[in-house]
Amino acid sequence: MNAPAVPAGADAYDQLVTMVAVADADGHCRFANAALENTIAVSRRALVRGNVLDWFVDAGPMRETLHALARDEVTTGRFEAQLKRAPLAPGDVLLVRVTATQLDAEGRVLLEMVEIEQQTRQDREERSLELARANKALLRNLAHEIKNPLGGIRGAAQLLEMELDPPPGGWRRKLGLREPPPKAVRAGFVRGLTEYTQVIIHECDRLQALVDRLLVPHRAPQVVGDVNIHEVCERVRLLILSEFPLGLQVERDYDISIPEFRGDREQLIQAVLNIVRNATEAMAESIAAGSARLLLRTRIVRQRTIGKGRHRLALELLIRDNGPGVPDAIRDRIFEPLVSGREGGSGLGLTLAQDFVQQHQGTIEFDSVPGRTDFTILIPLP
């Protein structure tokens, strides 16, 4: 009996982003998956009537690999090649890395093809994700280290301030004077010193708040329940409108068919709020001028790659503003902690937002030009 033309589990190949084909030893195509069909823009039926050698600008490496596999010289061959993208656009080619593996005793060959640009992009994304993880761990440890002495410093400054009340031995002794100092001098002295202790206390509080925000996502456990994304959006919208009742127009474009999903509502509200707040901060001038616009749009997207995984269904929340855009200088780093493009910013808003969304297996992407900045939250749906 002949082996089936398509290996078991072929349906699963259609879920792959990688282009996959199965060919006979002479290159006659037996199977092509959906990714390949879409890329070459030729129907699967037409593909399986043809020969894989015709798919490439230069068929040489493919032919040699097929020969080597047929003669059992190798079990796997790898090479780079130019894949003809569409028959109607002859110049349109795609640089791919091809892996050809012997499939069975019949001499059939499994071909996997990955777009080289996509491969390097994935590598880059993975590297930057790892770097971000390492950075965060480092910051978290540092935050812990700072937190403890900080309490001590603040406490000491408070004690110092209390000491500034008339000391038990009197001001004369305290200040090392022969005569008691006049009242005004005493008061001035105390006031002057209190200003210093106040600076210490105030700065300690500021650092404490920063450190607390650095530690937040790891301290607060997730409170998981059913989340309706529009409830999240509405909470943020009302909060932000109460902050800016004038000058800011918030448009809504919701796809109400989006199902609920399991998640932490408060975390997601915080994530969306951080993004929206950045938008309002960037639009400060246009809010004052009354021309600031914000859009909250929800959609369901299909077959979407999020991080390393591909998801059948995902929720997409777009937050668009018409502000000046993300400054070029920090464009590649805005999700990194402590990276800020504005006066007084602590650079934690987006780090936290990204953390919260990642805890929902999602991600945040952005795209920004002057006049239009899009932040997109993507979360897999069940």
Ligand X SMILES: Nc1ncnc2c1ncn2[C@@H]1O[C@H](COP(=O)(O)OP(=O)(O)OP(=O)(O)O)[C@@H](O)[C@H]1O
- Which residues would be at the binding site for ligand X (CB under 6 A)? 274, 278-279, 282, 321, 323, 325-327, 334, 339-342, 345-351, 373
Nearest to 226 by CA among 263, 176, 171, 189: 263
Cβ proximity to Mg ion, 173 vs 206, nearer residue: 206
Query: How far apart, in whole angstroms, are the C-alpha atoms of residue 48 and residue 191?
Result: 88
- Whether 28 and 53 have beta carbons less than 8 Å apart is answered as no
- The option from ligand X, Mg ion, none interacting with 336 (CB < 5 to 8 A, set by class) reads none
Q: Supply the minimum distance, in Å, between the C-beta of residue 210 and ligand X.
A: 9
Binding piece for Mg ion, criterion CB under 5 A, among 94-102, 161-169, 200-208, 278-286: 278-286
Q: Does 278 interact with Mg ion (rule: CB under 5 A)?
A: yes
Cβ proximity to Mg ion, 186 vs 213, nearer residue: 213
Query: How far apart, in whole angstroms, are the C-alpha atoms of residue 265 and residue 271?
Result: 10
Query: How far apart, in whole angstroms, are the C-alpha atoms of residue 337 and residue 8?
Result: 47
Q: Supply the minimum distance, in Å, between the C-beta of residue 206 and ligand X.
A: 12
HEC secondary structure over 24-92: CCCCEEEEECHHHHHHHCCCHHHHCCCEHHHHECCCHHHHHHHHHHHCCCCCEEEEEEEEEEECCEEEE
Q: Supply the minimum distance, in Å, between the C-beta of residue 310 and ligand X.
A: 28
Query: Chain-centre distance of CA 347, in angstroms?
Result: 15
Q: Which residue has the tokens 């982003």?
A: 17
Q: Supply the minimum distance, in Å, between the C-beta of residue 345 and ligand X.
A: 2
Q: Which residue has the tokens 């028959």?
A: 87
Q: Supply the minimum distance, in Å, between the C-beta of residue 300 and ligand X.
A: 24
Q: Does 337 interact with Mg ion (rule: CB under 5 A)?
A: no
Q: Supply the minimum distance, in Å, between the C-beta of residue 349 and ligand X.
A: 2
Cβ proximity to ligand X, 270 vs 278, nearer residue: 278
- Whether 157 and 197 have beta carbons less than 8 Å apart is answered as yes
Q: Supply the minimum distance, in Å, between the C-beta of residue 148 and ligand X.
A: 23
Cβ proximity to Mg ion, 167 vs 345, nearer residue: 345
- The option from Mg ion, ligand X, none interacting with 346 (CB < 5 to 8 A, set by class) reads ligand X
Cβ proximity to ligand X, 349 vs 380, nearer residue: 349
Q: Supply the minimum distance, in Å, between the C-beta of residue 278 and Mg ion.
A: 4
- The option from Mg ion, ligand X, none interacting with 317 (CB < 5 to 8 A, set by class) reads none
Binding piece for Mg ion, criterion CB under 5 A, among 227-235, 236-244, 315-323, 343-351: 343-351
Positive or negative torsion for Cα 159, 164, 170, 172: positive
Out of 349, 353, 356, 375, which residue is the one contacting Mg ion (CB under 5 A)? 349
Q: Does 380 interact with Mg ion (rule: CB under 5 A)?
A: no
- The option from ligand X, Mg ion, none interacting with 96 (CB < 5 to 8 A, set by class) reads none
Burial of 172 (0-12, 13-18, 19+ CB in 10 A): middle
What tokens appear for 69 in the block? 């596999």
* Number of residues in contact with Mg ion under rule CB under 5 A: 2
Nearest to 294 by CA among 356, 243, 349: 243
Cβ proximity to ligand X, 54 vs 367, nearer residue: 367
Q: How does 83-93 read in b/e, with b if 16+ C-beta sit within 10 Å? A: bbbeeeeeeee
Binding piece for Mg ion, criterion CB under 5 A, among 101-109, 110-118, 276-284, 310-318: 276-284
Query: Chain-centre distance of CA 45, in angstroms?
Result: 39
- Whether 222 and 266 have beta carbons less than 8 Å apart is answered as no
Q: Supply the minimum distance, in Å, between the C-beta of residue 19 and ligand X.
A: 36
Q: Supply the minimum distance, in Å, between the C-beta of residue 372 and Mg ion.
A: 19
- The option from Mg ion, ligand X, none interacting with 279 (CB < 5 to 8 A, set by class) reads ligand X
What tokens appear for 92 in the block? 């349109």
Nearest to 165 by CA among 193, 137, 146: 193
- The option from ligand X, Mg ion, none interacting with 354 (CB < 5 to 8 A, set by class) reads none
* Amino acid identity for residue 170 in this structure: G
Cβ atoms < 10 Å from Cβ of 356: 26
- Contact set with Mg ion (CB under 5 A): 278, 349
